[in-house]
Structure 1
């Protein structure tokens, strides 16, 4: 019985207590599917070789918990936001072209000084109504500005066609190129740039919201597992107390007398004359 108690205490010591057992078991649960099941053989290392050298084995990740269970799409960090906004604001060479947007070919219609694909006529009119002629301060002639303005209107239209869940970083960078081309040509498109920044922050805000939902679910699972493990540990502690109580019964004077009598008959018969 003492040997069993010693093993129990040894395991508790190895894992550093309940606060290390919990994340450790969670990590093992998440990773066990990665290892193929194989039959044991004589050359396999004993189980003790795989026990963690210290509680540091279960230290948490950069975001506070093991991230193995989370999809990349749900992860959020301030660093990711800062890096993307810097990338968005960088004065990069534009990659936008007619192939970047849909429905830019076919018949055209004039709006002001420019000819637009039919798919962009309503967008060009909406911009004119809300902000006037955004090209009026451009230092280029209308023929030069036309394609730039077409791409700008295509970006604005696409913003209206997509939901926030459909927006990607590549999409925002494409819009950036179209807006920055217009801005560099002298067009008054600051309103579009501000709107793009708002979309970018909303994009990461959605990530943060999804990340929070994932963390809340994970926390609920951890708390349920913690409760179960604590109940198991409490049960084991009660068993330990019960065993220790039985051991104490063996220290009474009467028990000692009984055990002393054992020596008289051990490996002998119990006859009166031996």
Structure 2
């Protein structure tokens, strides 16, 4: 089935949206890892066990090159009894589970402790745990010295404590599971309740938990990055396919544009079509001429109205000019009369003045 250009464009848009979502998730996971593990802490956790206890040949292979499914299968094989989950909620709650104050604690089960027992000092433990017990006593002293438990209980606590620390020494970060971390937590908390001085073990267990969380988030980050790469490759391929379809189908799409909104028989009868096209052109020309004629008539009506208004205005102007001429003539006449009256008044005043002067002389 051939994919159309519109379908291809929709698919490209969908891939872009999914790519943006994965980029956002990628950034979120990076921030989460930075919060869980300071810079270089994950690598430090992997190296610290070897620096403290020495490198073991059986743990020399790097499991980080395994595929995700293989790593999950390996974790399932190493998981112990109990409820475990590697989902987001379980991983984020792991540190809270370690700090949780549990009312009931059961002695965890460790394999390989049924062999020969040998006494070291006051304690009789399986031979496989002697190197771990010696190392604890050498570095931290007898951590059970302050315990008030009876010797049998003290030996049992020492047994699970040493077994936990031995497993920490034997396993790499990639091999542990949440269930195993919680089993170590139970062993260490039992020792703490027995008044063993093992705070160092609990602090180190929390570091292991942080490293484990960081590893899980790092794996998720790699999965998201892989999905992003695949989507980007798919997006690039889709863009190329889109361009190819547009180039190959240009003739067909141009032909489709000629038929859109028209009868598909268009072009079958060319002579008739030419007549129809000619009639349509004439009809359009007539419509255009009618429109022009209406516009001209409207213009003429407006022009007539304007000329009438101009004539009325001109007549009013002439009337005003005529009235101004009359008023100016009247004004001139009034000015002449006023001047004549002024002259008469001046003569009268002079005459009266002369009459008054003559009468005075006669007397």
Q: Which interval holds the TM-score relative to the shorter structure?
A: 0.5 to 0.7
Scaled by the length of structure 2, the TM-score of the pair is 0.49
CA distances 1:8-55 after superposition (whole Å, capped 9, x unpaired): 54x46xx8562215679x9xxxxxxxxxxxxxxxxxxxxxxxxxxxxx
* TM-superposed deviation, 1:224: 1.2
Distance 1:116 1:84 in 2: 31
Say which SS state the counterpart of residue 149 (structure 2) adopts.
coil
What residue is the counterpart of 1:185 in the other structure?
194
The alignment status of 1:89 with 2:99, answered yes or no, reads yes
* TM-superposed deviation, 1:79: 4.1
Distance 1:222 1:102 in 2: 46
Greater gyration radius: 2
Distance 2:258 2:158 in 1: 94
Is the contact between residue 191 and residue 198 of structure 2 (CA under 8 Å) also seen in structure 1? yes
* TM-superposed deviation, 1:108: 2.4
Q: Structure 2, unaligned stretches of length 5 or more?
A: 27-67, 76-84, 260-265, 276-363
Distance 2:98 2:241 in 1: 53
Distance 1:158 1:257 in 2: 86
Higher helix share: 2
Is the contact between residue 81 and residue 201 of structure 1 (CA under 8 Å) also seen in structure 2? no
Distance 1:264 1:118 in 2: 107
Aligned pairs (5 A) from 1:148-187: 148-187=157-196
What residue is the counterpart of 1:30 in the other structure?
none
Is the contact between residue 98 and residue 185 of structure 2 (CA under 8 Å) also seen in structure 1? yes
* TM-superposed deviation, 1:167: 1.0
What residue is the counterpart of 1:32 in the other structure?
none
Aligned pairs (5 A) from 1:1-274: 9=6, 11=7, 16=10, 18-20=12-14, 71=69, 73=72, 79-92=89-102, 93-97=104-108, 100-239=109-248, 242-243=251-252, 261-262=271-272
* TM-superposed deviation, 1:128: 0.3
CA distances 1:129-150 after superposition (whole Å, capped 9, x unpaired): 0111111222334343221111
Equivalences, count = 212
What residue is the counterpart of 1:52 in the other structure?
none
Say which SS state the counterpart of residue 119 (structure 2) adopts.
strand
Say which SS state the counterpart of residue 127 (structure 1) adopts.
helix
Distance 1:186 1:171 in 2: 23
Higher mean C-alpha displacement, 151-160 vs 87-96? 87-96
Aligned CA RMSD, in angstroms, stands at 4.0
Q: Structure 1, unaligned stretches of length 5 or more?
A: 27-58, 65-69, 251-255, 266-274
